Structures are given as C-alpha cells and as structure tokens.
C-alpha cells in the first residue's frame, strides 16, 4: 500500500511590504530565508493589490512592514498581505511592525477621542494575524491591545551598547525628555551599570499636536554628558527643546538616542542645526539619504528582529534576547 507522505516540518517564510524593503532584505538575509516574491501595486484610485508568487500553504509566515509615511497606506498594505496569507492557508501569521502605527493614541486624553492604537491591533487580528512582533512600543500596555501573543523587543541594548562603547559610562547621565518615560530611562541606567538619571519636564497644549511648550531640567546634569533617550523623533520638537534645556542648565554635551526615526516635516533641519553632539537612531523606519546628516548615526535593528523571528519560529525564548531583562 502506498501511503501519503506527511511532513510536520514547519516552513519559515518572510514577506515584505513596500515601505522598507532594505530592512526586510537584511532580516531575510540574516535568517537565510530570502523574501517570498510578490506582486504589489496601486490602482489609479489608491487601492492596493498584492499577490504572492509561490505557494504559502502551511507556512509559518512573518510579514514585515515599517509603518512609515504615508502611514495609512503601509498599514493597509500589511493588512491586505495578512488577508492574502490567511486565504492561501498559511499555518501561522506573525505581523512584524518594527514601528507600531498610531501607538501614541493609546488612551483618551479628552472626551470624544479615539484609542487608535487599539483599533490598529483589532484590524490586524481581524485580518488574520496570530501574533505580533514590535520594537519599543510607545507604551508597554499596547501589548494587551492585541488578542494574542505579542513580542515586544527593545532597541535599548543596541543603542546603549553603541553609546557606552563610544562615550564610556563615567560621566554619563541618562535623561528622559518627558517625565512619563522615566521608566525607560531607568532601564537604560540599569543597563549602563547604574548611571544617574534626570528628566526634562515637558508640558503640552492639547490643541497643538507635536508641540512641546515648556522645559525644565530635574536632576543633576551639570558638566556631565547627557544621553537623552526617547522612543521616537517625529518633528524633532521634543528632542531639540530638551537638548537646549540641558545645555542651558550646564550639561557638558548631549547625545540623543532614539529608536524610531520618524523624522517628519522640520525634523532633519531642526536636528542638523541643533546643539546635540550626536543623534543615534535605528532603522526601524527608512532613513533615506535625503534625511541623513553629519551628526546622525544609523544602527541596524535587523539583527534583533531576525533573532526574534528565529526564536518564535523555533519555539525558543524571545526573553532570552534580553538576558531576562524586560
Ligand atoms: C512623546 O510622548 C514621544 O515619546 C516623543 O517624545 C514625541 O512623540 C516626539 O515627537 P516630536 O519629535 O514631534 O516632538
């Protein structure tokens, strides 16, 4: 009797949206998997079409898309990719969003506002995502918005390693540009062996998005090298005002370290002309040649993402990537 050959071997397949193909290629190369060939294009009215050019039946799918501008287009493309995978019988679908769109709208600040970060999670669940991988969510509780496993990766070891190798840790003070993010600064300080902490008190006008309106330094920073850490630089307003506040308060120099280089509108000009000694970011989002400047250092997030994908695929431990530190 000839029996049907069964295989339980899982098949890792990596898919890339069109927002940041360089990062996806780097990740696929490190995994040794290659990227699944696909066709993707826009119809005249902006609707998106996607088709994979090989069978995905039974695969363990990892769908990479950086939510860069135009953000709604790239979120939608990733949703459509997930839908196509679900309908083509992928066994498991993991959405990899190095930068999670709408993460800043994670609560209602005032009546009649949306919680868009939750909506994004629901959209991916509805499309067919089984799990999510993201880097430095604006707030950790967004993990709970998605109904399924979420691997929340931290760029901090990569950024902190670079900063401590270059500047040492002797005179460093880790500074949060916002009292609300002091927990992340604490993780940095602990990683750097217990450096002191400070923060810049920032206030906002709820009617003026992207505009920080007042800064005051809390903590001892005089004659020290400050590492100003943030999850993202969008228009650069927050960071540049914090750099000024620190130098005006007597800091010796300020190095900026941020995970997501959103770099909208005036950001590049502001950062280029700022008094920051160096601005260190990762490539969770594409940073084209037109956005690069002399004091900008771009570190690759690909090794972190590829190791996380490997651990998920092999049912290993993503926590092991951080030596157990969460
Ligand atoms: C705010 O809570 C965030 O952590 C960032 O500091 C902020 O979104 C950056 O925006 P911008 O660069 O436009 O000031």
The verdict on the CB of residue 230 being under 6 Å from ligand 1 is yes
What does the pLDDT read at residue 324?
44
Mark whether 202 is an active-site residue. Answer: yes
- What domains, with CATH codes, occur in the chain? 12-154+303-319 (3.40.50.2020), 156-299 (3.40.50.2020)
Among 236, 238, 269, the mutation site with the greatest number of ligand 1 atoms within 8 A of its Cβ is: 238
Ligand 1 atom at minimum distance from 234 CA: 12
Q: Is the CB of 236 under 6 A from ligand 1?
A: yes
* Percent of the chain with pLDDT strictly greater than 90: 88
Question: Would you give the DSSP letter of residue 316?
Answer: -
CA distance 276 to 293: 12
- Confirm or reject: Cβ of 210 under 6 Å from ligand 1: yes
Confidence label for 213 from pLDDT (cuts 50, 70 and 90): low
The atom of ligand 1 lying closest to the CA of 235 is: 13
Per-residue pLDDT band at 1 (split at 50, 70, 90): very low
Structure tokens at 233: 């630089």
Residue 231 Cβ inside 6 Å of ligand 1? The answer reads yes
Cα 4 to ligand 1 centre (Å): 57
Q: Name the residue with higher pLDDT: 188 or 7.
A: 188
Is residue 3 pLDDT above 90, yes or no?
A: no
pLDDT band with cut points at 50, 70 and 90 for residue 317: confident
**24 Cα to the center of ligand 1, angstroms:** 26
In the predicted model, is pLDDT for residue 272 greater than 80?
yes
268 close to ligand 1 (CB < 6 Angstrom): no
Kindly report the average pLDDT of the chain as a whole number.
Answer: 94
User: Ligand 1 center to residue 278 CA distance, Å?
Assistant: 18
Distance 106 CA to ligand 1 centre (A): 14
pLDDT at 212: 61
CA nearest neighbour of 138 among 262, 305, 318, 311: 262
Residue 78, ligand 1, Cβ within 6 A: no
In tens, the pLDDT along 156-182 reads 999 999 999 999 999 999 999 998 889
Which residue's CA lies nearest to atom 6 of ligand 1? 238
* E strand spans, the chain: 12-16, 38-42, 48-52, 60-64, 92-97, 131-135, 150-153, 172-176, 197-204, 212-218, 225-233, 253-261, 278-282, 296-299
The pLDDT tens digits of the residues spanning 221-240 come to 999 999 999 999 999 999 99
Q: What is the mean pLDDT of residues 118-143?
A: 97
pLDDT value of residue 214: 63
Alpha-carbon span 197 to 136, nearest angstrom: 20
Secondary-structure percent of the chain, ordered helix, strand, coil, rounded to 5: 35, 25, 40
Looking up tokens 């062996």 gives 193
Is any atom of ligand 1 closer than 6 Å to the C-beta of 237?
A: yes
Please give the Cα distance from 237 to 244 (Å, whole number): 11
What's the pLDDT at 186? 95
* Unique residue bearing structure tokens 């499309």: 127
Distance of CA 43 from the midpoint of ligand 1 (Å) = 34
Cα–Cα dist 90/63, whole Å: 11
Place of tokens 């916002």: 178
Ligand 1 pocket residue status of 136, Cβ below 6 Å: no
Provide the edge-to-edge strand list for the sheet that holds 212-218. Answer: 212-218, 197-204, 172-176, 225-233, 253-261, 278-282, 296-299
Q: Which of 86, 202, 241, 291 is catalytic?
A: 202
For ligand 1, the distance from its centroid to the CA atom of residue 116, given in whole angstroms, is 17
Residue 325 pLDDT exceeds 60: no
Got the DSSP string for 256-299?
Answer: EEEEEE---TTHHHHHHTSS-SEEEEEBSS---GGG--TTEEEE
Q: pLDDT value at position 188?
A: 97
- Kindly report which listed range (72-76, 77-81, 84-88, 315-319) carries the lowest average pLDDT score: 315-319
Determine whether the shortest distance from the Cβ of 142 to ligand 1 is under 6 A.
Answer: no
The model's confidence at residue 93, banded by pLDDT at 50, 70 and 90, is very high
Nearest residue to 283 (alpha-carbon basis) of 308, 303, 255: 303
> What pLDDT, on a 0 to 100 scale, did the predictor assign at position 265?
97
| pLDDT-based confidence at residue 326 (cuts at 50, 70, 90) | very low
How high is the pLDDT of residue 68?
98
pLDDT on residue 25: 98
């Amino acid at each position: 009797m000839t029996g049907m050959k069964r295989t339980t071997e899982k098949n890792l397949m990596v898919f890339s949206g069109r927002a940041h193909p360089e990062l996806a290629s780097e990740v696929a190369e490190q995994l040794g998997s290659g990227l699944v060939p696909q066709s993707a294009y826009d119809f005249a009215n902006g609707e998106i079409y996607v088709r994979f050019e090989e069978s995905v039946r039974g695969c363990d799918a990892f769908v990479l898309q950086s939510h860069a501008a135009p953000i709604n287009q790239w979120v939608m493309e990733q949703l459509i990719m997930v839908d196509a995978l679900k309908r083509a019988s992928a066994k498991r679908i993991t959405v990899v969003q190095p930068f999670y769109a709408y993460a800043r709208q994670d609560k209602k600040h005032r009546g009649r506002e949306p919680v868009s970060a939750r909506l994004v999670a629901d959209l991916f669940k509805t499309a067919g995502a089984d799990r999510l991988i993201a880097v430095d969510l604006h707030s950790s509780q967004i993990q709970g918005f998605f109904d399924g496993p979420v691997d929340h990766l931290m760029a901090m070891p990569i950024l902190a390693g670079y900063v401590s190798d270059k500047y040492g840790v002797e005179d460093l003070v880790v500074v949060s540009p916002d009292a609300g993010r002091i927990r992340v600064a604490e993780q940095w300080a602990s990683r750097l062996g217990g450096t002191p902490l400070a923060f810049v008190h920032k206030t906002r006008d709820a009617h003026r998005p992207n505009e920080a309106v007042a800064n005051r330094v809390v903590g001892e920073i005089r004659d020290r090298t400050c590492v100003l850490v943030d999850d993202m630089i969008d228009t650069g307003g927050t960071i540049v005002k914090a750099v000024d506040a620190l130098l005006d308060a007597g800091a010796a120099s300020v190095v900026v370290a941020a995970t997501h280089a959103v770099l909208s509108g005036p950001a590049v000009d502001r950062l280029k002309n700022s008094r920051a000694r160096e601005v260190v970011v990762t490539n969770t989002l594409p940073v084209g040649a037109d956005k690069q400047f002399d004091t900008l250092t771009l570190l690759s997030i690909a090794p972190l993402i590829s190791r996380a994908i490997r651990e998920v695929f092999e049912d290993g431990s993503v926590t092991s990537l951080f030596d157990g530190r969460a």
